[in-house]
A and B are shown apart, each in its own frame.
Chain A
Amino acid sequence: EAGVAQSPRYKIIEKRQSVAFWCNPISGHATLYWYQQILGQGPKLLIQFQNNGVVDDSQLPKDRFSAERLKGVDSTLKIQPAKLEDSAVYLCASSLLARTGELFFGEGSRLTVL
């Protein structure tokens, strides 16, 4: 069974530029999550989708971050414009049932903002 796929693995940009990350969850997983993991901290939930609907985006900085999951399968997270403090690993995860807490994570996309 294929795991959660993310790309790109690494991205370096300058502040005020834009960047997009892509995630393809495990087949059949209805719930998809984007987490931000800053060095030395635990993952912080940015947005949670159930199929193609948003169920939690309370910690998403909506002035610069956006995410979509148009067909209820893969998802894109965009940052525009990027700030220095956005340097982090962006982790995508999926789960079969949202209530169980059993998440399957991708390897992450490491963003460096200069």
Chain B
Amino acid sequence: AQSVTQLGSHVSVSEGALVLLRCNYSSSVPPYLFWYVQYPNQGLQLLLKYTSAATLVKGINGFEAEFKKSETSFHLTKPSAHMSDAAEYFCAVTRAAGGYNKLIFGAGTRLAVHP
């Protein structure tokens, strides 16, 4: 079975500061890992994904994440926060094997960016 744990339900940073959102996963099989972003009153949008190719994955809006198998982590980072990054971020996992795979979401981290 797969699961994800997002450390910190709320993160607050200053504009221009580093953004670090933490995600640890649990999976008995090689995982695919994802970060989705949800802006207020909108659906979720794919930010980036890891599918067993490069361990450092670049996504939209300057975000990136690094898959670390030894730490079972997939933390999301952005060097310099912008006001428009304020949103809720969800880490998700599914198994890499074929078939109809369930995508399991974490509880989410709400990012606030202040001037």
Q: CA–CA, A99 to B51, complex, Å?
A: 11
**Chain A hits for B108, CB < 8 A:** 40-42
Per-residue 0/1 for B23-66: is the Cβ within 8 Å of any A Cβ (1 yes, 0 no)? 00000000010100000011111100101000000000000000
> In the bound complex, do residue A99 and residue B98 qualify as a contact, i.e. CB atoms below 8 Å apart?
yes
Nearest Cβ on chain A to B32's Cβ, whole angstroms: 5
Segment from B12-20, B69-77, B78-86, B99-107 that makes contact with A: B99-107
Query: Known contacts A4-B43, A43-B105: does B92 contact A101 (CB below 8 Å)?
Result: yes
Specify the main secondary structure of chain B where it touches its partner.
loop
Chain B residues proximal to chain A, CB less than 8 Å: 9, 32, 34, 41-46, 49, 51, 90, 92, 94, 98-108
> In the bound complex, do residue B43 and residue A100 qualify as a contact, i.e. CB atoms below 8 Å apart?
no
Nearest Cβ on chain A to B29's Cβ, whole angstroms: 13
> In the bound complex, do residue A48 and residue B100 qualify as a contact, i.e. CB atoms below 8 Å apart?
yes
> In the bound complex, do residue A103 and residue B102 qualify as a contact, i.e. CB atoms below 8 Å apart?
no
The chain B residue sitting closest to A55, CB to CB, is B100
**Chain A hits for B107, CB < 8 A:** 40-42
**Chain B hits for A40, CB < 8 A:** 9, 107-108
